[in-house]
Amino acid sequence: MPNATVKLISYEVTFHDGRDPIIFDLSTPEGVKKAKTEGFNLREGEEYKTSLKFTVEGDQISELYRTQEVFREGIRHSRGTKMLEGKGSFGPSDTPNVINTPHQGWEEAPGGRLRHGSYTARTSFSDDEDDTNMLDFGVRYRVQAH
C-alpha cells in the first residue's frame, strides 16, 4: 500500500454572474470546520463552479478517485465516483493540483420551492488500492429563492 497523503489547500466557489468568489482555507482544522458548518448560499438557478486545491505528500498515487455524495436535510440525494483524469498520476509537489467541477461550463443551483433548503456535499479520495482513508471532508450550502 502506498504511503501517500492528500492535503487540502482550499475550496472555492466562483459565480457566473461575477459576484465575489467564496474561498474556504482547508489547510487548517478551523477552515475545514467553517466549510462544513457555515458553508455558503446559492440562489435558485444560479450558475456556479467549484475548485478544490490539494497536494499529495509521500508516495506517488497512480490512480486517484474522488467520490462525492450530496445530502439534503440528512438524506443522500446523489453519489458519484470518478477517477481524476488529465494528470495520470499524482506525486509529491509544491504545485497544487486543482479539480474544477464541472470540468467545463457551469453548474446550476436547483430551482423551485421544493429544492430550497440545506445541502451537504461530502468528498472523499481513494487510490487504486481502495485506500479510502486518504481524505474526507464536507461543505454545507443552502439553496434559497432569488
Domain boundaries, the chain: 4-144
> What is the reported pTM?
0.84
Q: Which regions of the chain does DSSP assign to beta strands (E)?
A: 4-15, 22-25, 40-43, 47-58, 64-72, 75-83, 97-101, 107-108, 117-127, 135-144
Q: pLDDT for 94-138, tens place per residue?
A: 899 888 888 889 999 988 888 888 999 988 887 776 655 567 789
Arch. (CATH architecture) of 4-144: Distorted Sandwich (2.70)
What is residue 63's predicted lDDT score, i.e. its pLDDT?
A: 78
Helices (H), 12-125: 29-37
Q: pLDDT for 49-106, tens place per residue?
A: 999 998 888 888 877 788 888 898 888 888 877 776 655 678 888 899 888 888 889 9
What is residue 86's predicted lDDT score, i.e. its pLDDT?
A: 54
Burial 86-109 (b: 16+ CB within 10 A, else e): eeeebbeeeeebebeeeeeeeeeb
